[in-house]
Structure 1
Amino acid sequence: MTAIPKPRIEIPREEIRSQSQSFWTQLAWISAGASPLMAWRRAARMSVSDLARESGVDPETITAIEARRHTPSRLELVALAASLGLGVGDLQD
């Protein structure tokens, strides 16, 4: 019986470095007291306007969520998470 070789997945170094930097940037913002949404948005180098355009969520709503003045609906969380390439749980305090 011969072993079937496993496919090799190549991830470009730049992508790994970018993900690592995003993680550390996000961690720094969280440590400084930022909301998870703000931390991930900044780590993704997106403006509020960029995220609003991508997600379909109003920019004022995004700002209120980041300031913890608005509790996002499930639909808002799903749209924001998808736009950032995250799971919904990543955006919850």
Structure 2
Amino acid sequence: MLDHLDDLASDFSVFHRIADITLLDGPTFFRLAWRMPAYEGVMRVRATAQQGDGDTAGMPHMAPGRYEEINPGTRTALAADPAFAGLFSYGSPGG
């Protein structure tokens, strides 16, 4: 994903009307970025090409109506997912 930040920025601007992806908090960015191959943008082209080569590592595997592999980006889900271990800091409540 990080190798495609310019492509993601382009797709975010078109499909979500987000002009600057750097202003998003981490959970929101990853939640939206994960879904980009569902839209008719450059990330779909990249995902299709990658799957065509048989290299699907790191790509969401979504059959119609089945989204259980998508991390919803909630604080609890991100904290429990080993793929995101240590990436997010939420600070202390009230402080």
Larger helix percent: 1
User: Given the two structures, how large is their TM-score scaled by the length of structure 1?
Assistant: 0.31
User: Given the two structures, how large is their TM-score scaled by the length of structure 2?
Assistant: 0.30
